[in-house]
Amino acid sequence: QKEVEQNSGPLSVPEGAIASLNCTYSDRVSQSFFWYRQYSGKSPELIMSIYSNGDKEDGRFTAQLNKASQYVSLLIRDSQPSDSATYLCAVKTEAGGYNKLIFGAGTRLAVHP
């Protein structure tokens, strides 16, 4: 069974700090990686995707990928209370001739004023 692992948290950071969320995956041939954000009582929404080793920046968010070490991370700069949510790491994997996403259990982030 291909797996995606995340620390469940909660990760607590003060407002304005950098939040660092990490994820490891087991399928060595995976090529596509995603971060979804899920507010309490709401559905997940895609916020970042990354396909190549290195960093990808989008506003206050930076996704980092290291395929050799099989980890992907999400950095949130200048964290705001509105960033408080659960962040789900997802990895695209192939099984039975189909591509599908495998989700981690998520890391709960709490940004306090």
Binding residues (CB under 8 A) for other proteins: these are 1, 4, 8, 32, 34, 36, 42-46, 49, 88, 90, 92, 96, 98-106
Q: Does residue 81 sit in helix, strand or coil? A: helix
Work out how close the CB of 67 gets to other proteins at its nearest, in angstroms, rounded to a whole number: 16
C-beta of 19 vs 108, nearer to other proteins: 108
Work out how close the CB of 23 gets to other proteins at its nearest, in angstroms, rounded to a whole number: 11
* CA–CA dist 70, 26 (Å, integer): 7
C-beta of 32 vs 70, nearer to other proteins: 32
Instruction: Give me the half-sphere count of Cα atoms (radius 13 Å) on the Cβ side of residue 43.
Output: 2
Work out how close the CB of 112 gets to other proteins at its nearest, in angstroms, rounded to a whole number: 22
C-beta of 36 vs 85, nearer to other proteins: 36
* CA–CA dist 45, 53 (Å, integer): 23
* CA–CA dist 41, 92 (Å, integer): 25
